Structures are given as C-alpha cells and as structure tokens.
Amino acid sequence: MMVQIEENKLQKIEVLLAQSMRGIHVLFENETIAQILRIPTEEIDFFSFDNMDRIQSLFTGLINKTTFEEKRCFLESLDGDSYETLVRAYFHIVDNTVLAATLEKH
C-alpha cells in the first residue's frame, strides 16, 4: 500500500516530532502519555504484521490533518484502542529519532 503525503503536511508533523524530542508534547497530555507508555511497547505484540496497516492508517490520518486543531480533533475522535496505538507509534518514532541522533552510544 503506497501512501501519498503532501510535503507541507510532512513538514508540520516533523515540527511536532522535533518538539516532542525536546520534551514538549503539544498533541498529547503528559498524564495520558505516561499511562499508555507505562507498559513498554516491546512487552506487547505491537508491531505485528496484522497491526502495521492499522498503525500506518492512523499515523497517515494524523499527518493528513492540515492544522493543529484538526489534528487535535482527529485524536479526540479516536476510540481508546486507536488512540493508544497512535500514541505508541508516535513515541516509537520520537524515541528512535532521538536514539539515531545520539552520537555517543553506551
């Protein structure tokens, strides 16, 4: 499945991800993030083959919203399981980007 994303929408999500890498999470409430990520993604079958299309669909849905308000409304429209899936995918990207940018590995 090939997904087309407009360049300006991709740039907007990159700005949000960059803010999250600095600890500023404007899309999600800190308490909600902590509650969802209390159980590490590695401990659940999150990146299963069956779940990958769902993750891609949810993340693409978020990216394709033009304004911040549209993104927030999209998040509010999700059921609990979809919201959790999107939060996990979002922070998986944030974590991997931070790790990739870290020059010194332990």
Other beta carbons less than 10 A from residue 28's beta carbon? 17
At 42 the pLDDT is 80
At 2 the pLDDT is 52
Other beta carbons less than 10 A from residue 19's beta carbon? 14
Residues 6 or more apart in contact with residue 65 via CB below 8 angstroms: 9, 71, 73, 74
Q: What is the pLDDT along the chain (106 residues), one digit of tens a residue?
A: 555 667 777 788 888 888 888 888 889 999 999 999 998 888 888 888 888 999 999 999 999 998 999 999 999 999 999 999 999 999 999 988 888 877 665 5
At 14 the pLDDT is 83
At 85 the pLDDT is 95
What's the token pair of residue 50?
């069956």
